Structures are given as C-alpha cells and as structure tokens.
Copies of this chain bind each other. A is one copy, B any other.
C-alpha cells in the first residue's frame, strides 16, 4: 500500500497537470492533422483545444493518479495519466453540454463554446439562426469530446485485467453523471423545499462523478480491492458534497471576476440546490412567495438577484450550508485518519478536502 518514493517526496499535482496537458495536446494535434488531411473543418479541434487550455483544475486526473498511488501504484505513470486525460476530455464533454443546457454565456472567464461558435457563424445569418448553429455545433463538439475521451481511454495501454476492473466503473461514472444532470435540468424552474432531491442531484452530479469515481478508477488500475474502494468512497462523498455546496454558494454569492462565471445563471434557471431548498424550507409563506417570483425568472436582473440573495441569507440557509460544508470536511478528515496511505497522498487528500471547502472559483 506504500511506495518508498512517495514516502520521500510530496505528491505533486502540478506535475500531473503538465502530463495531462501533454497527452491532450498530442491527441488533439493528431486529430487536427487527420482533419486537415481529409479536408474537414479545423474549427472543431480548435474550439475543443481552446476550451481545454482555457483553465480548469484537472481535479479528476489528479484524483485518478491519487487513487492509483493509494492502491500502491508506482513506476510508470503513463497509462494512469492517459486515463486521467480521458476523464478530463469526458469532463470537457460534460461542461460543453452543460453550458448549452444552462444557456450560459461565460465559462472560465471566456465565452462558452456555443456562444463563441454562434459569433463565428453570425456572418450571413440572423441572430436567431446564428444562435441555433452555435448551439448545434457545440452539441456536436461535446459529442466528439465524449467519443474522444473513450478513444483516449482505450488507447491508454491497459492490460486485460485492468480493463475488466475499470470498465464497469467508467460505465457507472458516465451513467451516474448523466442521471444527475437529467435530474438537475428537469427539476429546475421553480424553487421548491425538496431537500431530498437537491441532495440526490448533488450526490450524482458531483460527489460521485468528481471525487469518488476518479479515485476508484485510479485505485483499480493498481489492483485496489473493494475495501479500499469503500474507504475512498467514505472520504470522497462528503468532500464531493462540500465541493458542490460551496459551488452552489459561489453560484449565488460569488464574485464573477474571481469565479469567471455569472452569479445570475443559477437564480435565473431556478436550480434545485440545497441552498435554495433550505431557504424555501425555512422561509415564511410570504418570503417563499417572494422567492418564487424572483428565483426561476429568466429575466431576473442584478437588483432582483440581490433581493433574492438577501432573502436566502435571511432564512439562515446561507449559514446552514456553510455548516454542512464544515461537517462534511471533518467527516472526510476522520476517514483520512484511519486510512493507511502513502503520506504524500494522505497530505494531498487532506489538502483537497480543505480546498474543496474553501474554494473561491
């Protein structure tokens, strides 16, 4: 379960980020050359490459490599990094489609893919027609990212034992996040007090997808057993919950200059978050009614949003979510205390639990 090298040196997320960046840029360079050779449009790879290099924490590849070390993985990190890059490409797919479904204008401080493409295809078209082409093109670039994540995965050089261990986890991850998104988009619109549903969305859309499955996938690549996977879940799920709870706070209260995304979108869509469910649950009927007229109104302006924020805060929901985040962080830290892990990995996971609960972007 431990490796001498890791005992001696700290786990280095930035090295993994660089390796993942290399895998992705090599992969896309080959796709670009193939498109050129077949006289296919260059803007597909361009748009996906721009999106992938515009930012992102590379959390899933880093967790995948952490899971691998946690299960005793050492030596050549090539295959596990390539699997991590496949997870990052899958995440690009998720975000590009998510932005279409949320009708978001900005991501990582830049125009979203569908907005950028709508602009690129504006000449000779009406605004509505250009928007439609932009959305369709972004759906297709997302689809390609999903297909290409699979290509990265099955060219990672895994042996048959690794493949048969990891494929069911990959299938589970993809299905879970899509169900989470489905619940999310079909629940949005009107704020409700349905805390149970908000927690299910959180669990599927984020905690399992962002934290638990990447750790699992990395762990089984190094032969991690069911007991280790369970312990990793005990850590990952509360941290993942905290990560998304923090994201929900940032989506309503965050500073767009820091987060790089709008703080009106979640309110306009009427996203079914734990924050909003708690606010609706705690509020008086009069305040519930006012929140219902503000939250889920696609034309909500900054003034209305400020009123909504003040109401949510006044119900105590803001502080309650902050407490939930802290509880989950402590819960995750207790798991780390009983887990036997290479010290570099234990420290990195502890740092992750801290960062997830204090993230500002």
Contact = CB atoms under 8 A, between A and B. Distances in A.
A95 interface: no
A100 interface: yes
Interface residues of A, number: 52
A152 to B, nearest CB: 10
A136 B132 CA distance: 14
A44 B124 contact: no
A121 interface: yes
A302 interface: no
A97 to B, nearest CB: 6
Contacts of A140: 97, 101, 178, 181-182, 185
Contacts of A323: none
Interface stretch (A167-175, A214-222, A225-233): A167-175
Contacts of A142: 143
Interface stretch (A35-43, A62-70, A335-343): A35-43
A182 B150 CA distance: 20
Number of copies: 2
B137 A139 contact: no
A213 to B, nearest CB: 13
A189 B97 CA distance: 23
A207 to B, nearest CB: 14
B124 A189 contact: yes
A133 interface: yes
A41 B187 CA distance: 11
A190 interface: yes
Contacts of A39: 200
Given A151-B171, A167-B154, A190 B124 contact: yes
Interface in A69-110: 93, 97, 100-101, 103
Given A44-B179, A44-B182, A150-B150, A139 B190 contact: no
Interface of A: 31, 35, 38-41, 44, 93, 97, 100-101, 103, 121, 124-125, 128-129, 132-133, 135-137, 139-144, 146-148, 150-151, 154, 160, 167, 171, 174-175, 178-179, 181-183, 185-186, 188-190, 200, 204, 298
